[in-house]
């Protein structure tokens, strides 16, 4: 059996992020991410044999050691792709972006050493907050100042998440969380 997996940092929504999601929900053509699905992806693994989950978890445990906890910032808003019609609306990580970059690099180094394959797209720290609805070419995007802050949260570990694609969207299940302790 295989599982579709990724490594992420869960993002608990504070007041500012909740207000943003509400604003995005009222914008034409956007589908905000549910609060319980907010996360920052460090490394997308994709389909992997379930027998490898123990190895993945050991790599995560080694990677996170000494890199958490820290206070993460949510700052700035943008869209992917940067040119053309946007498909994803995201919030940036402000001054904590380098901490997330270090976490992602550590996870990837451990996966490389263990022979675990993963998506090698360059890491860009962000939290997806909305997606553009299918068929919408130019969604109504609320205007926000580029340096707008959307709160902080405690990053105290990384999670291995299973992702099941369904007709109504992805369903995420946290399989384990590693804090670097023990």
Query: What is the Cα Rg of the chain in Å?
Result: 16
Give the integer Cα–Cα distance in Å for 148 and 144.
7
Q: Where are the domains of the chain?
A: 2-177
- What pTM was computed for the model? 0.93
Give the integer Cα–Cα distance in Å for 40 and 59.
18
* 19-61 per-position pLDDT tens digit: 999 999 888 889 999 999 999 999 999 999 999 999 999 999 9
pLDDT of 84 strictly over 90? no
CATH topology of domain 2-177: Cyclic Phosphodiesterase; Chain: A, (3.90.1140)
């Amino acid at each position: 059996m295989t599982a579709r997996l990724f490594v992420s940092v869960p993002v608990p929504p504070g007041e500012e992020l909740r207000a943003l999601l509400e604003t995005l929900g009222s914008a034409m053509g956007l589908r905000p991410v549910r609060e319980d699905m907010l996360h920052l992806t460090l490394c997308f693994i994709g389909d992997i044999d379930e027998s490898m989950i123990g190895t993945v978890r050991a790599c995560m445990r080694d990677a996170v050691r000494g890199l958490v906890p820290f206070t993460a910032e949510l700052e700035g808003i943008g869209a992917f792709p940067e040119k053309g019609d946007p498909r994803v609306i995201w919030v940036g990580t402000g001054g904590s972006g380098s901490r997330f970059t270090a976490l992602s690099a550590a996870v990837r180094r451990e996966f490389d050493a263990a022979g675990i394959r993963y998506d090698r797209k360059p890491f860009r720290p962000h939290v997806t907050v909305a997606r553009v609805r299918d068929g919408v070419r130019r969604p109504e995007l609320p205007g926000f100042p580029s340096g707008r802050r959307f709160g902080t949260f405690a990053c105290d570990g990384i999670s291995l998440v299973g992702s099941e694609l369904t007709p109504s969207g992805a369903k995420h299940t946290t399989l384990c969380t590693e804090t670097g302790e023990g």
